[in-house]
Amino acid sequence: MTNANENTIVAPEGARIVNLHCRVNHGRDWKEAISAGFLPHKRINGEVQKVGDLYLPTSTEEIQGDYIILNFLPGCGSWDRALVWAQSVGLKMTVPREVFAIGEQYPGLERTLGQNPLYLVATTDCIFGGRRKACFVWWGRYRFFFWSIGRRVVGLRPTIDFDHNCAWFLFRK
Protein backbone atom coordinates (compact mmCIF):
# COMPACT_ATOMS: atom_id res chain seq x y z
CA MET A 1 0.00 0.00 0.00
CA THR A 2 1.13 3.54 -0.64
CA ASN A 3 0.47 6.84 1.06
CA ALA A 4 -2.29 9.02 -0.43
CA ASN A 5 0.25 11.83 -0.85
CA GLU A 6 2.05 9.78 -3.46
CA ASN A 7 0.72 9.53 -7.00
CA THR A 8 -0.01 5.82 -6.87
CA ILE A 9 -2.50 4.20 -4.53
CA VAL A 10 -2.85 0.45 -4.92
CA ALA A 11 -6.26 -1.16 -4.67
CA PRO A 12 -6.68 -3.87 -2.05
CA GLU A 13 -6.74 -7.47 -3.26
CA GLY A 14 -10.02 -8.28 -5.00
CA ALA A 15 -10.83 -4.63 -5.70
CA ARG A 16 -10.46 -1.89 -8.25
CA ILE A 17 -10.11 1.87 -7.86
CA VAL A 18 -10.87 4.81 -10.15
CA ASN A 19 -9.79 8.45 -9.79
CA LEU A 20 -12.38 11.22 -10.16
CA HIS A 21 -12.24 14.99 -10.01
CA CYS A 22 -15.27 16.96 -8.81
CA ARG A 23 -16.38 20.44 -7.72
CA VAL A 24 -18.29 20.41 -4.43
CA ASN A 25 -20.10 23.17 -2.59
CA HIS A 26 -20.03 22.02 1.05
CA GLY A 27 -22.35 24.87 1.98
CA ARG A 28 -25.08 23.97 -0.49
CA ASP A 29 -28.57 23.73 0.98
CA TRP A 30 -29.33 20.09 1.86
CA LYS A 31 -32.44 19.79 -0.31
CA GLU A 32 -30.67 21.49 -3.21
CA ALA A 33 -27.69 19.13 -2.84
CA ILE A 34 -30.03 16.12 -2.87
CA SER A 35 -31.82 17.42 -5.96
CA ALA A 36 -28.50 17.77 -7.78
CA GLY A 37 -27.75 14.09 -7.22
CA PHE A 38 -30.78 12.57 -8.91
CA LEU A 39 -32.40 12.84 -12.32
CA PRO A 40 -35.36 15.23 -12.35
CA HIS A 41 -38.74 13.61 -11.86
CA LYS A 42 -37.21 10.47 -10.40
CA ARG A 43 -37.60 9.04 -6.93
CA ILE A 44 -35.89 10.33 -3.78
CA ASN A 45 -35.66 8.00 -0.80
CA GLY A 46 -37.55 9.90 1.93
CA GLU A 47 -35.08 9.12 4.72
CA VAL A 48 -32.25 11.01 3.01
CA GLN A 49 -34.26 14.22 3.33
CA LYS A 50 -34.39 13.78 7.11
CA VAL A 51 -30.65 13.54 7.86
CA GLY A 52 -29.46 16.96 6.67
CA ASP A 53 -28.94 18.12 10.25
CA LEU A 54 -26.42 15.28 10.67
CA TYR A 55 -24.30 16.65 7.79
CA LEU A 56 -24.02 20.38 8.44
CA PRO A 57 -22.36 22.69 5.87
CA THR A 58 -18.61 23.12 6.35
CA SER A 59 -17.87 26.03 3.99
CA THR A 60 -19.59 28.47 1.68
CA GLU A 61 -17.44 28.13 -1.42
CA GLU A 62 -17.12 25.58 -4.17
CA ILE A 63 -14.01 23.41 -3.77
CA GLN A 64 -12.24 21.33 -6.42
CA GLY A 65 -11.47 17.87 -5.11
CA ASP A 66 -9.69 14.69 -6.14
CA TYR A 67 -11.43 11.46 -5.22
CA ILE A 68 -10.91 7.72 -5.38
CA ILE A 69 -13.79 5.32 -5.71
CA LEU A 70 -13.30 1.73 -4.58
CA ASN A 71 -15.24 -1.32 -5.77
CA PHE A 72 -14.82 -4.90 -4.62
CA LEU A 73 -15.28 -7.94 -6.83
CA PRO A 74 -18.08 -10.31 -5.77
CA GLY A 75 -17.42 -11.85 -2.36
CA CYS A 76 -14.27 -9.79 -1.69
CA GLY A 77 -15.37 -6.69 0.16
CA SER A 78 -17.55 -4.92 2.65
CA TRP A 79 -18.25 -1.47 4.10
CA ASP A 80 -15.81 -2.10 6.96
CA ARG A 81 -13.07 -3.46 4.70
CA ALA A 82 -13.36 -0.36 2.49
CA LEU A 83 -12.95 1.97 5.48
CA VAL A 84 -9.95 0.06 6.85
CA TRP A 85 -8.23 0.14 3.45
CA ALA A 86 -8.85 3.89 3.00
CA GLN A 87 -7.41 4.65 6.41
CA SER A 88 -4.34 2.50 5.66
CA VAL A 89 -3.51 4.58 2.55
CA GLY A 90 -4.34 7.96 4.12
CA LEU A 91 -7.60 8.72 2.32
CA LYS A 92 -10.36 10.80 3.93
CA MET A 93 -14.00 9.88 4.42
CA THR A 94 -16.57 11.72 2.32
CA VAL A 95 -19.91 13.30 3.12
CA PRO A 96 -23.16 13.10 1.16
CA ARG A 97 -22.77 16.49 -0.55
CA GLU A 98 -19.69 15.06 -2.29
CA VAL A 99 -21.60 11.99 -3.52
CA PHE A 100 -24.51 14.14 -4.69
CA ALA A 101 -22.09 16.46 -6.57
CA ILE A 102 -20.56 13.47 -8.36
CA GLY A 103 -24.07 12.33 -9.28
CA GLU A 104 -24.65 15.72 -10.85
CA GLN A 105 -21.27 15.98 -12.63
CA TYR A 106 -21.00 12.34 -13.77
CA PRO A 107 -24.53 11.54 -15.00
CA GLY A 108 -23.36 8.51 -17.02
CA LEU A 109 -21.01 7.02 -14.43
CA GLU A 110 -22.59 3.55 -14.69
CA ARG A 111 -21.77 3.48 -18.42
CA THR A 112 -18.25 4.83 -17.91
CA LEU A 113 -17.47 2.15 -15.33
CA GLY A 114 -19.43 -0.64 -17.03
CA GLN A 115 -21.38 -1.26 -13.82
CA ASN A 116 -25.17 -1.46 -14.01
CA PRO A 117 -26.56 -0.87 -11.45
CA LEU A 118 -24.05 1.17 -9.46
CA TYR A 119 -24.25 2.60 -5.93
CA LEU A 120 -21.81 5.41 -5.03
CA VAL A 121 -21.67 5.66 -1.25
CA ALA A 122 -20.56 8.51 1.02
CA THR A 123 -18.22 7.03 3.61
CA THR A 124 -19.26 9.15 6.60
CA ASP A 125 -22.20 7.22 8.00
CA CYS A 126 -24.90 8.25 10.46
CA ILE A 127 -27.27 6.65 12.92
CA PHE A 128 -30.87 6.99 11.75
CA GLY A 129 -33.81 4.93 12.93
CA GLY A 130 -31.46 3.10 15.29
CA ARG A 131 -29.29 1.76 12.45
CA ARG A 132 -25.95 2.67 10.94
CA LYS A 133 -26.74 4.13 7.50
CA ALA A 134 -25.05 5.95 4.62
CA CYS A 135 -26.20 8.27 1.83
CA PHE A 136 -25.77 7.16 -1.76
CA VAL A 137 -26.47 7.91 -5.40
CA TRP A 138 -27.71 4.97 -7.47
CA TRP A 139 -27.32 4.76 -11.26
CA GLY A 140 -29.22 2.25 -13.35
CA ARG A 141 -29.94 1.77 -17.03
CA TYR A 142 -32.83 -0.18 -18.44
CA ARG A 143 -33.42 -1.34 -22.00
CA PHE A 144 -36.84 -1.21 -23.58
CA PHE A 145 -36.79 -2.53 -27.13
CA PHE A 146 -34.43 -0.06 -28.89
CA TRP A 147 -34.34 2.56 -26.10
CA SER A 148 -32.00 2.75 -23.18
CA ILE A 149 -33.42 4.66 -20.22
CA GLY A 150 -31.15 5.88 -17.43
CA ARG A 151 -32.17 6.56 -13.85
CA ARG A 152 -30.34 8.14 -10.97
CA VAL A 153 -31.74 8.00 -7.45
CA VAL A 154 -30.46 9.30 -4.11
CA GLY A 155 -31.15 7.68 -0.78
CA LEU A 156 -30.12 6.46 2.65
CA ARG A 157 -29.62 2.76 3.41
CA PRO A 158 -28.03 0.61 6.11
CA THR A 159 -24.27 0.27 5.57
CA ILE A 160 -24.60 -3.51 5.47
CA ASP A 161 -26.62 -3.08 2.24
CA PHE A 162 -23.41 -1.98 0.48
CA ASP A 163 -21.54 -5.25 1.08
CA HIS A 164 -21.90 -6.31 -2.58
CA ASN A 165 -20.13 -5.74 -5.88
CA CYS A 166 -22.49 -2.95 -7.08
CA ALA A 167 -21.22 -0.63 -4.32
CA TRP A 168 -18.49 1.92 -4.96
CA PHE A 169 -17.10 3.72 -1.91
CA LEU A 170 -16.10 7.38 -2.27
CA PHE A 171 -12.93 8.68 -0.58
CA ARG A 172 -11.18 12.05 -0.80
CA LYS A 173 -7.43 12.27 -1.49
DSSP string for residues in 100-125: HHHHHH-TTHHHHHT-SSEEEEES--
Integer Cα distance of 26 and 56 in angstroms: 9
User: Could you tell me the pLDDT band of residue 35, with boundaries at 50, 70 and 90?
Assistant: confident
Q: Give me the chain's average pLDDT, please.
A: 87
User: Could you tell me the pLDDT band of residue 6, with boundaries at 50, 70 and 90?
Assistant: very low
- Taking alpha carbons only, the member of 172, 171, 170 closest to residue 137 is 170
User: Could you tell me the pLDDT band of residue 77, with boundaries at 50, 70 and 90?
Assistant: confident
User: Is residue 5 pLDDT above 70, yes or no?
Assistant: no
When comparing pLDDT for 7 and 111, which is higher?
Answer: 111
User: Is residue 152 pLDDT above 50, yes or no?
Assistant: yes
Integer Cα distance of 96 and 123 in angstroms: 8
User: Could you tell me the pLDDT band of residue 103, with boundaries at 50, 70 and 90?
Assistant: very high
- The alpha carbon dihedral of 41, 46, 47, 51 has a sign of positive
In this prediction, residue 45 carries a pLDDT of 61
- What average pLDDT does the segment 44-57 reach? 85
Give the three-state DSSP class for 70: strand
Q: Percent helix, strand and coil across the chain, each rounded to 5?
A: 25, 40, 35
Parallel, antiparallel, or unpaired for β 118-122 and 167-172? parallel
Q: Please state the pTM of the whole predicted model.
A: 0.89
In this prediction, residue 7 carries a pLDDT of 60
